[in-house]
Structure formats: C-alpha cells, structure tokens
C-alpha cells in the first residue's frame, strides 16, 4: 500500500508555516463561530468541515462559539438547531462557547482603551457619523466628540452601561484614523445601546459589543491559534489586529485571522437572508423543506452527513470566486447512498399489465435481493400475480431497437420474476393506453436455475403486484431555481428565478414489504432513484421524499 499524501490547501500551508516558524503544535486550536440568528446551510457546512477537519487533521481541539452580540436578531432556538446540525455532521466540539460569556471582560478592556485615550463616546446621530466617515475613495473627517476627556468618556460609557440613555444617543468608538484607506479603521463602533433582552444574559446588559470588537478578543480569550473566515472579512483583518494589539499578552497565543472563499453552489442561494425570504413567502414549507439547502433541509431530503463531508472535502478550499455545480454534491450523495441503501421496487407512474396466460387466482411469493452486489444484505419476499403495475413509460406499442423496454412482440424481464412478451394493449376513447397485455414464459422464473431463466434479455423492468400494492405518497423535488446563479443577476431579483415546478406530489405503488420502513430510512427504488421516508408519514400513509434520481443515460438517448 502506497501512502498517497493528499496535497495541502493554502490554509494548511499557513498552519504548517506557522509550525515551522516556531508555533508549538500543542498551541493549535480552531473554532467555528456562527451567529445564532438562523439555520445553517450548505455554505456553513463547508466552513464546519474546514475548521473541524483541521481539528481532525492536526488532532487539536475545535470550539463551537456562538457569536451572540446582537439580541435583536438572535434566539435560543437557533443555538439548539446549530448544535444539532454540527453534531449530525459528525463533529464534536471541545468547548461550547458564547461571545456573551465575555461581555464583562470585553467591557473591562473597553474601559482600558478609554483610559488609554484609544476609545471615546460619540454623541452624534448615525447620519452625522456616516457623513464624516467619507467613502472608499474619499477620506473621512474627525467628528466633534473625538477629543472628549477621558473622564467624560468614562462617565458617559458608564451611563450607557447603566441604561441612562436610549438607543442611538451615544456609542463608543475606537479612536484610530478617520483618513485610513480602510473604511473599517475610521473610528469603528465598539459598543451600542440595545434595549432588548438577550437570550442568555437577559436584561443584565444595556450595551452590546460589535462584531469587530468581539471576535478577535473572543479568539484570544479562547486561545484560538487560527481564526478562519470568509473573504468578505479580509478588510476586517487590520482592525482585528489593531484590537488585539491593545490587549494582547506576549506570553499567550496571538490568534491569526485568515480568509477563504465562500462556496457557491449552483441552482441555489446560500445566504440566510435569502433562504429566509423563501420561507416567509411560502415558496417552501419551512427551513427544513427538503428543497432547501439548509443542513436541516438536506437532512430531511435524505442527504447523508458523509456525502456532505465528502463533497466539502473534494471541492477543497481556495480564494477565488466560484460556482460549484450541484452535480458535484449529487455525485457524492449517490456515491454514499449506493453503498448503504437497500433496493426495492416502487412504480411511480403505474399502469396495469395483465399476464394473460398466468392463472387467475394464483399468487407466488418470490425472493428479491436487497443488494445486487452484496448478498449478505439479505433477501425479501415479493408477491407476484396475474395483474401487476409497471411504469407507464416502460411500454410502447412500437419502438426502435434502442428502446430496451416492453413493446409488442418483444420480451423483457420482470426483475426477480419472469420474462414476459408484449402482446398488445387496451385504449380508452381518447386513445390513451389503459391496460397492457402480455404473456409470460413459465420456465423463466428468476433464480430457478432453468435454462429459460438464464436467457440474455436486454431489458429489465421493476413492477409491483396490483392486489398487494401499497399506495404511498411520493414527493418529487427539482432544483429550487431555474438558473445556475440566481443571485448574481444585475437587474433581476433572485426570487424571479424560483422554479415553479420544484415539487410534484404523486401517489405511487410500492411493494408491500416497504410498510416496515421507518422515518428517515433511505432505499433505492430500482431504476428510479433514492427515496427516504419523510416525518410527515402517518400510520395510514407512507410519505417519501425523492432524495436524488439515479444517473439516467436513457433519458439522454431518448431526448
């Protein structure tokens, strides 16, 4: 066995460089820092796999930290949902942390900055401050409160903390450089007054720290060695470092922020705000609608954690803009499901087929394997009789030789059963086929070992015995958007690209053994795709989600 070494990505290069430059390996520590203001999506999954993957690669701890500094948007239910999603992906965090745990420390450090003359209370309106801030191409100017005395700043900040002021009256700003090329360095806001209860600290605090003031200091408090975030935070790095400079102790690990490109997946949106709009406008039934690319939606759809991890791993990590084709994700999904899903028969678009030379009241119990490749997965019993259902599209009165399925005068094999020959069909007044007639070769039973059963027949169909068929609801999903990149159009809003046919609900005919499936279980409907049992299932009705179709080369030939 040759030990094929997977090449490093640039993130791993950064870490190994640091290790080579004197960072002790036992100081390595990472974190995944979501804001609990919504559900995690496939984009977060990439970040989770990156950070926790690093933890696994270097065998070092990873914290799950909630960046909960804005009580106006955050809720405890999101904390629970995020924890569930991370666990479902198969990762274990070292410490469960909250930025809100550091409010006191952050406050004390802010006092320190005020005393150093590096922070001040500004009492202007946000409009006035915005006007002074300049633009990316024009420098800002100093505001009138910039040179308040330390005593006055201390008193005002204390008042803010005590709830003496309303929202918007005063804020605390870092005193850096209003002329900096970097807008974020133009005296960024550190604290604002928010009169809202926090999901963890209740009404203890009237002031809340901003992201920039919180993030690096939280990394430092947790002694995170490497703090990875997406590219749009690149301009924040200078501020991250400036804030760290104010408080860092040289004996401790100084966290390093580095940025990677977020992953964009075709035919979907990966933005909490946009996903929320789909929920609000009832385009989908909720955050866990199987069409949603939230982790909870993918889970309900039947995606496996392994498929998501393998996907994240295979697309790697980079710094350039990207649009990863959904095919990549579906490849890894099929790859995993192919290994773990038992095979069954279910007819999605049933039409009755009568085997005219089969005894009227006879029912045979046939054996069907659960896996073509792996006999150890066992067998199940499938009833066979004179009247069965097959897929409507599997029969044509006449067809060219590329059509391997049932046609008049030609033979096909019924999976795990007999070889039949098309004899004709019955049509209604409009010419629609209502019933197909066929004859069977009694010596051709699958597994009988007879010469007839061994015959090479090009086509094999799945089927279900009509009398024993189990009607089930099947939800067929298609892409949520009709274009690969719905949210990059300059003129049109992404909502204009919503696919109106992303859901089709049908009643299908399943083999009776399927009534024993449990919620969440995935099976392969042979020749049709992978399907999982939805939680909407009741004692009376089984509900399936189509997780993904099989690859279908016939669809291309036929088109």
Strands (E), 27-130: 30-32, 62-66, 96-98, 119-122
Element (H, E) at 112: helix 103-115
Q: Which of 3, 373, 428, 540 binds RNA (CB under 7 A)?
A: 373
Q: Which of 403, 481, 497, 531 binds RNA (CB under 7 A)?
A: 403
Q: Which of 199, 200, 291, 413 binds RNA (CB under 7 A)?
A: 413
Q: Which of 137, 250, 282, 362 binds RNA (CB under 7 A)?
A: 137
Q: Which of residues 261-290 bind RNA (CB under 7 A)?
A: 261
198 burial class (0-12, 13-18, 19+ CB within 10 angstroms)? Answer: buried
Q: Which of 46, 51, 63, 70 binds RNA (CB under 7 A)?
A: 70
From 12, 35, 105, 169, the catalytic residue: 35
For CA atoms 161, 164, 169, 175, the dihedral sign is negative
Distance CA 245, CA 122 (A): 23
Residue 372 in contact with RNA, rule: CB under 7 A? yes
CB of 289 or CB of 420, closer to RNA: 420
Residue 130 in contact with RNA, rule: CB under 7 A? yes
Residue 210 in contact with RNA, rule: CB under 7 A? yes
Q: Is 192 helix (H, G, I), strand (E, B) or coil?
A: strand
Q: Which of 201, 285, 439, 453 binds RNA (CB under 7 A)?
A: 453
Distance CA 276, CA 290 (A): 15
Q: Do residues 257 and 240 make contact, with C-beta atoms less than 8 angstroms apart?
A: yes
Nearest to 128 by CA among 88, 169, 93: 169
Q: Which of 61, 159, 318, 512 binds RNA (CB under 7 A)?
A: 318
* Minimal distance, residue 86 CB to RNA, in Å: 16
Q: Which of these ranges, 106-114, 250-258, 454-462, 498-506, lies near RNA under the rule CB under 7 A?
A: 454-462
CB of 199 or CB of 343, closer to RNA: 343
Catalytic annotation present for 35: yes
* Minimal distance, residue 251 CB to RNA, in Å: 28
Other CB atoms within 10 A of residue 92 CB: 12
Catalytic annotation present for 413: no
Kindly determine how many residues on this chain lie close enough to bind RNA according to the rule CB under 7 A. Answer: 90
CB of 84 or CB of 258, closer to RNA: 258
Nearest to 267 by CA among 41, 494, 39: 494
Catalytic annotation present for 475: no
From 133, 262, 277, 352, the catalytic residue: 262
> What does the CA dihedral 226, 231, 233, 236 come to, rounded to 10 degrees?
80
Task: Return all residues near 306 (Cβ < 8 A) that are at least 6 apart.
Answer: 90, 336
Contacts with RNA, 83-122, as mask; x by CB under 7 A: ----------------------------------------
Residue 69 in contact with RNA, rule: CB under 7 A? yes
Residue 335 in contact with RNA, rule: CB under 7 A? yes
Q: Which of 316, 387, 495, 499 binds RNA (CB under 7 A)?
A: 316
* Minimal distance, residue 371 CB to RNA, in Å: 7
Q: Which of residues 463-522 bind RNA (CB under 7 A)?
A: none
Q: Which of 56, 321, 443, 489 binds RNA (CB under 7 A)?
A: 321
Strands (E), 86-241: 96-98, 119-122, 171-174, 189-193, 207-209, 226-230
* Minimal distance, residue 466 CB to RNA, in Å: 20
* Minimal distance, residue 250 CB to RNA, in Å: 27
Nearest to 209 by CA among 323, 105, 122, 280: 105
> What does the CA dihedral 96, 98, 101, 106 come to, rounded to 10 degrees?
130
Eight-class DSSP state of 7: P
Distance CA 107, CA 113 (A): 10
Q: Which of 24, 72, 95, 96 binds RNA (CB under 7 A)?
A: 72
Residue 557 in contact with RNA, rule: CB under 7 A? yes
The torsion angles phi and psi of 399, rounded to 5 degrees, stand at -165, 160
CB of 70 or CB of 153, closer to RNA: 70
Give me the residue label for tokens 């995170």: 224
From 272, 300, 405, 413, the catalytic residue: 272
Residue 167 in contact with RNA, rule: CB under 7 A? yes
Residue 195 in contact with RNA, rule: CB under 7 A? no
Residue 60 in contact with RNA, rule: CB under 7 A? no
The torsion angles phi and psi of 422, rounded to 5 degrees, stand at -70, 135
Residue 367 in contact with RNA, rule: CB under 7 A? no
Q: Catalytic residue numbers?
A: 35, 262, 272
């Amino acid at each position: 066995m040759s030990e094929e070494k997977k090449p490093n990505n640039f993130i791993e290069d950064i870490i190994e460089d640091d290790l080579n430059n004197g960072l002790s390996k036992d100081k390595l520590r990472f974190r995944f820092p979501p804001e609990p203001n919504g559900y995690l999506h496939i984009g977060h999954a990439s970040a989770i796999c990156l950070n926790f993957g690093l933890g696994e690669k270097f065998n070092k701890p990873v914290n799950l930290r909630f960046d909960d500094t804005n009580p106006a948007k955050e809720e405890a239910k999101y904390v629970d949902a995020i924890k569930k999603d991370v666990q479902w992906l198969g990762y274990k965090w070292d410490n469960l942390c909250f930025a809100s745990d550091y409010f006191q420390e952050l406050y004390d450090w802010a006092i320190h900055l005020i005393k150093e003359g590096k922070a001040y209370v500004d009492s202007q309106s946000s409009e006035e401050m915005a006007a002074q801030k300049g633009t990316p191409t024009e420098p800002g100017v100093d505001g009138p409160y910039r040179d308040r005395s330390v005593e006055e700043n201390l008193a005002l900040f204390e008042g803010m903390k005590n709830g003496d002021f309303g929202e918007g009256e005063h804020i605390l700003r870092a005193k850096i450089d209003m002329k900096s090329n970097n807008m974020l360095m133009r005296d960024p806001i550190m604290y604002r007054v928010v009169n809202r209860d926090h999901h963890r600290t209740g009404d203890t605090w009237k002031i809340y720290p901003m992201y920039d003031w919180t993030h690096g200091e939280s990394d430092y408090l947790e002694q995170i060695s490497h703090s990875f975030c997406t590219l749009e935070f690149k301009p924040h790095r200078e501020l991250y470092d400036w804030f760290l400079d104010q408080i860092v102790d040289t004996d401790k690990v100084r966290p390093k922020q580095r940025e990677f490109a977020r992953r964009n997946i075709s035919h979907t949106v990966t933005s909490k705000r946009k996903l929320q709009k789909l929920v609000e406008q009832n385009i989908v039934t909720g955050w866990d609608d199987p069409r949603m690319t939230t982790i909870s939606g993918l889970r309900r759809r039947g995606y496996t954690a392994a498929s998501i991890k393998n996907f994240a791993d295979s697309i790697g990590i980079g710094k350039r803009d990207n649009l990863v084709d959904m095919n990549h994700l579906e490849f890894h999904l099929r790859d995993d499901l192919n290994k773990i899903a038992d095979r069954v028969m279910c007819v999605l678009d049933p039409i009755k087929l009568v085997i005219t030379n089969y005894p009227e009241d006879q029912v045979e119990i046939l054996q069907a394997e659960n896996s073509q490749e792996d006999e150890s997965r066992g067998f199940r019993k499938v009833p066979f009789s004179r009247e069965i259902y097959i897929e409507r599209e599997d029969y044509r009165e006449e067809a060219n030789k590329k059509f391997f399925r049932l046609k008049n005068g030609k033979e096909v094999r019924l999976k795990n059963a007999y070889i039949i020959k098309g004899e004709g069909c019955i049509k209604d007044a409009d010419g629609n086929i209502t019933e197909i007639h066929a004859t069977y070769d009694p010596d051709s039973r699958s597994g009988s070992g007879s010469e007839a059963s061994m015959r090479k027949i090009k086509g094999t169909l799945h089927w279900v015995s009509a009398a024993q068929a189990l009607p089930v609801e099947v939800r067929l999903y298609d892409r949520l958007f009709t274009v690969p990149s719905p949210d990059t159009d300059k003129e049109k809003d992404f909502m204009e690209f919503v696919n109106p046919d992303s859901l089709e609900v049908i009643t299908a005919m399943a083999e009776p053994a399927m009534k024993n499936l449990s919620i969440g279980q995935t099976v392969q409907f042979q020749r049709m795709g992978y399907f999982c049992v939805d939680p909407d299932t009741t004692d009376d009705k089984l509900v399936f989600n189509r997780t993904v179709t099989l690859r279908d080369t016939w669809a291309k030939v036929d088109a």
